[in-house]
Structure 1
């Protein structure tokens, strides 16, 4: 019989998990920014800030099957401690080798690859172990707090990284990251996992091939209409939202020549919206129909992106343009919080715990792969076409796609009602 997790135990675990997220994410973001600066100054290569965005999706794709299977077949706490320990050793090794290796780019690629492998195991294990840490009543609270913490860190990490880089240099930041990783490992060690009972069916899974084990998760996604729809919508939106990451910097700095400071205000508004959205979401009850709520909010996102296109098409002053983009960015961030967190909670509440590793690994990898594909597509598009038409068309595509899914849901619901018992 599975151990019942009390509310008090859940609250303690939430505090530990949030603390680990804050320390780990802040340290990781600071290191990534500083690494990009160091490589840029050392190699003068334009790819300096893009290494992570290339390596992490590729590693995620290669490891999606073995990591998903591994997490669903092994105890989670030892896996989590091992993956975090590997990350810590990678930073220690990097600190020891940084001044002894001439090819800094090659060393960075090796270290980032090791970190990407460790992070894939860590994130998948953590997703699959939520039910071992908190009870069902606190899953939504944990998700919203973590999302809010991540958004808050995104607001301050670039400024903090730049300040630390100028103050203690890259070597100092590596040392700080070693301390941060040590703290996250100790927090993971202190967390109390409540392993769920292993059935004979679960034990039999280990005798199957890697593909046979992994296929179970894919079949589960495909057979559950709501989950499959949420996965496909998430991939679709991630691809199209690359237009924000690629297009706004190009349109604001290169096309309109409004400067880096104004761009930072607009991008910070996104993170601010996500932060506020998750804080509001934390005090609201769970959505009764997650899929319908997500579709309506996703349609609103399409409308807002279309409005951004309209702003670039009409003749308005720079002040009105920037102020409008800050406001819209904040709203989009808030809406994204109301989309992402319920999707995460729904997956936790719907997918059997024994499949969370495989389903979570598949979902996160597909979402991650959508970003570089979208970046490549929109990077080319913004070189050829102005921002206004691109955002307008992107907004219309989102509205039409989500509208089509909305109609499909009603047809699916009607078919289920008309199906005899």
Structure 2
């Protein structure tokens, strides 16, 4: 099998593997969340499980990046998926022998958080090894498409099955899906398009601290990456205003019915799915940072637009349709922001640093989100929701316009200025 045929095989095998793993994970998350709320009736117990899903991943991400860069990425991806299967198997044994307990669920959630993070970093760092440069955007789009499809289908499937089958059967289904993902992962060559530049002997002698320090030093020498990190840090913090405020406004302020609220959430995933399909078949975006800038600005505008039904009276049906449209467009924006940026990073980051850089970007992007949710949760209890969102929206857009000012865009895309000059000269004639 030649390289290009193998790359095509990788593209679809990778997508199917991610779809199966994501779908199994999200159906499991739905079922286990429903179980916790049904068994305890406690929001605190539910929130603690969410923390178990986020905190281990955030703390371990920098170490995962070093490990992914030091050891074979295929081995890490497969071991991570095997560990996922074993963790679910352990929870299955506990549920059969002594019944599910919150302690067992929390421990499993922590393990799954770590295994999914290692798997995610290993795969993200291996995209340029799995496919040729011309198919990087397609690979990233198909990856996002599989996640979006799982997000749309898993609540429906989970809700349908939860009332019909037992929790042990749920866990068996998840183990089966994870096992299929393992088999698919073993058939791929993670280094098909990699040109090894790193000195493997020096790499082997490098300590973890030295390796992590080298990753940070590399990051500091990349102005484009530093700009992306600052944007991710501040934008994710300010976007917490929307993440907390959206549910608060629709459920508490506007009294939207639960099933209608679910439809608006589904519209977000549909927007992501359709845009991912579009990007997977179109040619690569020429100026990714410029496209991302426009997408983030539109996200800021949509944040502020969430308040319109609070400021102007609308009928219930118009309000429902408005939020369906808003969530759909937001889903489109998220993909327009993430996919071009990830493709640009895949091409510009040296292969031997990809694990450390991607894990550091993920850590920083998530760093202020929990703090933002706590702060905004307090603010929404004290101040009018519309003013909080409008102010946060203004700050959101201001941050983007400052960090991605025209001089920064021109530095990253010098060919953009040249293209404008050519276009201007053509128009003059």
Question: Which of 253, 264, 267 matches 2:265?
Answer: 267
Q: Is 1:57–1:365's contact at 8 Å kept on the other side of the alignment?
A: no
d(CA) in 1 for partners of 2:191 and 2:261? 46
Name the stretch that deviates more: 240-249 or 74-83.
240-249
* 1:397 corresponds to: 395
Structure 2 vs 1, CA of residues 328 and 367 (structure 1 numbering), >3 Å: closer, same or farther? same
Name the stretch that deviates more: 212-221 or 332-341.
212-221
Matched residue SS, 2:117: helix
Matched residue SS, 1:194: coil
Structure 2 vs 1, CA of residues 241 and 52 (structure 1 numbering), >3 Å: closer, same or farther? farther
Offset of 1:198 from its aligned partner?
4.2
Question: Which of 290, 299, 302 matches 2:300?
Answer: 302
* 2:425 corresponds to: none
- Tell me, which stretches of 5 or more residues in structure 2 are unaligned? 416-429
- Tell me, which stretches of 5 or more residues in structure 1 are unaligned? none
Structure 2 vs 1, CA of residues 385 and 318 (structure 1 numbering), >3 Å: closer, same or farther? farther
Structure 2 vs 1, CA of residues 328 and 199 (structure 1 numbering), >3 Å: closer, same or farther? closer
Tell me the TM-score normalized by structure 1.
0.92
* 1:60 corresponds to: 57
1:115-167 superposed Cα distances (whole Å, 9 cap, x missing partner): 11211211111111112211111111010011122112211211211111111
Question: Which of 3, 6, 21 matches 1:6?
Answer: 3
| Pairing 1:368–2:358 present | no
1:56-108 superposed Cα distances (whole Å, 9 cap, x missing partner): 33212332232111111111222211111111111111100124447711111
Q: Is 1:309–1:390's contact at 8 Å kept on the other side of the alignment?
A: no
Offset of 1:309 from its aligned partner?
2.1
Offset of 1:269 from its aligned partner?
1.1
**Mapping 1:41-120, distance limit 5 Å:** 41-101=38-98, 104-120=101-117
Name the stretch that deviates more: 245-254 or 121-130.
245-254
* 2:357 corresponds to: 359
Structure 2 vs 1, CA of residues 141 and 122 (structure 1 numbering), >3 Å: closer, same or farther? same
d(CA) in 1 for partners of 2:374 and 2:78? 36
Tell me the TM-score normalized by structure 2.
0.90
* 1:406 corresponds to: 404
Q: Is 1:148–1:279's contact at 8 Å kept on the other side of the alignment?
A: yes
* Number of corresponding residues: 413
Q: Is 1:265–1:326's contact at 8 Å kept on the other side of the alignment?
A: yes
**Mapping 1:19-418, distance limit 5 Å:** 19-101=16-98, 104-194=101-191, 196=194, 198-199=196-197, 201-407=199-405, 409-410=407-408, 413=411
d(CA) in 1 for partners of 2:135 and 2:374? 39
1:139-197 superposed Cα distances (whole Å, 9 cap, x missing partner): 11010011122112211211211111111032221111011111111111122333645
1:290-310 superposed Cα distances (whole Å, 9 cap, x missing partner): 222211221121112112223
Offset of 1:338 from its aligned partner?
0.6
d(CA) in 2 for partners of 1:157 and 1:250? 24
Q: Is 2:149–2:273's contact at 8 Å kept on the other side of the alignment?
A: yes
Matched residue SS, 2:314: coil
d(CA) in 1 for partners of 2:394 and 2:56? 33
Runs of 4+ more than 4 Å apart? 197-200
d(CA) in 1 for partners of 2:106 and 2:155? 21
Name the stretch that deviates more: 235-244 or 317-326.
235-244
1:229-275 superposed Cα distances (whole Å, 9 cap, x missing partner): 12221232322333333222221122221210111121111111111
